[in-house]
Amino acid sequence: MRYSKDHKAETHARIVKNASVRLRERGAASLGVAELMKESGLTHGGFYAHFPSRDALISEAFAYAMQQTTGRWRKRAERETDGSRLAAIVNGYLTAEHRDDVGNGCALPSLGTEVSRANPKTRKAFASKVEDMISMVVEQLPELPPKTARREAIGVISTMMGAMILARAAGTSEFSDEILSAGRQAALRSENAAKPSAKKPKAAKIET
């Protein structure tokens, strides 16, 4: 039976989506093609109609997971009308719900160390998506000079990722919740410190 191009594209997208969940849950080494295709309602033999290799699928799944996170950040920022858009991103990211939903969560805490051992093509694709994340956060800091905003964005993202890794390692304990809270405060504290002051500092009073 021949399928339309739309059907093939939909099937391809479903495989990539399922693979991205498995990657985040179990890592690249545990991603089995046969199991994945069965889960997607397809036969093992149909895999190569969509991907030239397992590595090609992994690269696409990495990219999908990263795009998913960036899209969520953008939606949170766009919904924010009163407060800080960056705060909306940070506070929506460092939550117990995100900590506990590894398969549908951000790819960076789950896969960052794995990417360092991946092939050059995958690492390059991953780096490109990290740049997209940085650019998206920079957009939320229009009051800062471009270089300062980029440095701030890198710092905030690094703080968020590190806090999420530690929180997941600590499980679902009060300690884990404490890590998430501290991570939120640290990320937003650095944002506030980087903002230029609207008031000129008062001259120090000289005591005699």
Percent of the chain scored above 90 by pLDDT? 53
Q: Give the pLDDT score at 28.
A: 83
Using alpha carbons, list the distances in angstroms from residue 77 to 21, 24, 71, 124, 153.
24, 24, 10, 27, 14
Q: Give the pLDDT score at 117.
A: 80
The CATH number assigned to the domain with range 53-194 reads 1.10.357.10
Q: Is the pLDDT of residue 208 over 50?
A: no
Output 194-198 pairs: Cβ under 8 A, ≥24 positions apart.
194/141, 194/144, 194/148, 194/152, 195/143, 195/144, 196/143, 196/144
CA 46 – CA 39 distance, rounded (Å) = 13
Specify the higher pLDDT residue, 162 or 9. 162
The answer to whether the CB of 12 falls within 8 A of the CB of 61 is no
- Give pLDDT tens digits for 114-161: 888 877 887 888 889 999 999 999 999 999 999 999 999 999 999 999
